[in-house]
Chains A and B, each alone.
Chain A
Amino acid sequence: ETGVTQTPRHLVMGMTNKKSLKCEQHLGHNAMYWYKQSAKKPLELMFVYNFKEQTENNSVPSRFSPECPNSSHLFLHLHTLQPEDSALYLCASSQKTSGTYNEQFFGPGTRLTVL
């Protein structure tokens, strides 16, 4: 595996379900990010992790719970979601969280549908 991988690629869940999204980066990066991309809206940053520590929570509802057990893995645990949470969830990684040139590498995303 190379780059940033995300599983599953597609997920359909009911509002009472609990599911998790997984992201793994094979680039040796130290920072990982969760973004949400809703239809006709700009990409929105949700969470930032730097060396496994959460450094940014962009006012995300508690029904989204991130977990970063190590610098290579990032999870997004989902519970009691709402239909408006349906979106493409993108994971990204970068060498560090700040710098003059800090390109973020993105995974293919998980297309989430909440019924």
Chain B
Amino acid sequence: AQKITQTQPGMFVQEKEAVTLDCTYDTSDQSYGLFWYKQPSSGEMIFLIYQGSYDEQNATEGRYSLNFQKARKSANLVISASQLGDSAMYFCAMREYSQGGSEKLVFGKGTKLTVNP
């Protein structure tokens, strides 16, 4: 079963508008972390925002905010005032621990965001 589900393969938004990218997760752990990364066409994964499972407030980083609904196991990314440079793939990821104790990130399939002028 998928641990990270991103149901939107592609999204379109008009420049200067806000957009929400969906992410749901599946875990039985009480302590976990959720990340959003942006991957432009150049390939590099760029960290955007982090939400810890015990954080009471939704994370915010500039134009990025994370709508964390723990009971629904969702961690949607909200981008306000979209810019043309926001066009990229966006990945939701969850931290989990392997049997060896190493931390690893489990990624969703991603959402391709296109910002139209």
* A interface residue count range (under 10 / 10 to 19 / 20 to 34 / 35 or more): 20 to 34
Residues of B near A2 (CB, < 8 A) are: none
Q: How distant is the Cα of A99 from the Cα of B32 in the complex, in angstroms?
A: 10
Query: Count the A-B residue pairs with Cβ separation under 8 angstroms: how many?
Result: 73
Stretch of A18-26, A60-68, A69-77, A102-110 with 4 or more beta carbons under 8 angstroms from chain B:
A102-110
Q: Which residues of A contact B (CB under 8 A)?
A: 31, 33, 40-43, 45, 48, 50, 55-56, 58, 88, 90, 92, 94, 97-109, 111
Chain B residue at minimum C-beta to C-beta distance from A103: B47
Q: Please tell me if B63 contacts chain A, counting CB pairs below 8 Å.
A: no
Q: Which residues of B contact A (CB under 8 A)?
A: 4, 31, 33, 35, 37, 42-47, 50, 52, 91, 93, 95, 97-98, 100-110
Minimal beta-carbon separation of B1 from chain A (angstroms): 13
Q: How distant is the Cα of A94 from the Cα of B100 in the complex, in angstroms?
A: 17
Residues of A near B108 (CB, < 8 A) are: 42
Minimal beta-carbon separation of A66 from chain B (angstroms): 13
